Amino acid sequence: MDFSGEVAEWQRNVSEGKAGNSRRHAVMEALEVRVGKSYLDVGCGGGHLVRELGNAAGTEGRVVGIDSSPQMLENARAVCQGLTCVKIIEGNAAQIPSDDAEFDGLAVIQVYEYVEDVSAALEEARRVLKPGCPIAIVSILWEHCRFYGAERKLNEQINEAWRAHCFHQMLPLELPPLLEKNGFGSLTRTNISFLDTALHAGSTAYYLSKLIAKFAASQGVSEEDANLWLSQLSDADKEDRFGFVNFPVLCVATAI
């Protein structure tokens, strides 16, 4: 999945909305963020969590955000402007540009599903975390993420095309053995699923539907059909029969 252009913009909108806020809140709590500590956000996107971590860790703390997309990095630097404890740098989840045991907590929100070798990425995460410190991973049960309101056959066609947008459809269920293998223990998993029943600008459903339609059109669905799907969802919204269910899961584990 290419996180640039309109996709970067829509991703930023999703992060700024209700769903983004609730994920960040869950991650901040899980990491038990403290003044003066050091945190890493892997795949920091538009930088909203890095900003919150920076505000919480304070000037004596240290917060690093890494991302592989130049446009996301640019957005994150703008969002974190003025926070002296924050550094936003180009980096890959599978090769983190940091020393061993550098961080007191590590966040990964909706990133590992785009990483082919999650085990290698977890090995890197373990390397840069201090023993006894937490990793908080939000990933999505994509097979259960569904829009309702469009004609069933077209909806299925769009869903099928969307499967190719990431490597891992059901990552929360794959994570436990991978975490254990790479030196993490005390795993907990929390369901942070939600339902959107409106398609207004500001809802996760609004931006994600645009993103999915664009992606489907790059995967062999005709542009006409992708636009028809969007207009069917919009009609369903006007008739109060629209729905979007999403199943993010927060996995928290401790570096052994």
Binding site for ligand SAM (CB under 6 A): 3, 11, 15, 20, 43-46, 67-69, 72, 92-93, 109-111, 114-115
The least distance separating ligand SAM from the CB of residue 20, rounded to whole angstroms, comes to 6
Helix axis angle for 6-16 and 204-217, nearest 10°, is 160
User: What DSSP state is assigned to residue 207?
Assistant: H
The least distance separating ligand SAM from the CB of residue 221, rounded to whole angstroms, comes to 21
Q: Which residue is nearest to ligand SAM (CB)?
A: 45
The least distance separating ligand SAM from the CB of residue 45, rounded to whole angstroms, comes to 2
Residue with structure tokens 């059109």? 217
The least distance separating ligand SAM from the CB of residue 62, rounded to whole angstroms, comes to 19
Which residue number, 49 or 253, has a Cβ lying nearer to ligand SAM?
Answer: 49
Residue with structure tokens 């794959």? 174
Which residue number, 110 or 182, has a Cβ lying nearer to ligand SAM?
Answer: 110
Q: At 37, is the secondary structure helix, strand, or coil?
A: coil
Q: At 52, is the secondary structure helix, strand, or coil?
A: helix
CB 76 within 8 A of CB 65: yes
Helix axis angle for 204-217 and 223-238, nearest 10°, is 160
Which residue number, 80 or 150, has a Cβ lying nearer to ligand SAM?
Answer: 80
Which residue number, 11 or 203, has a Cβ lying nearer to ligand SAM?
Answer: 11
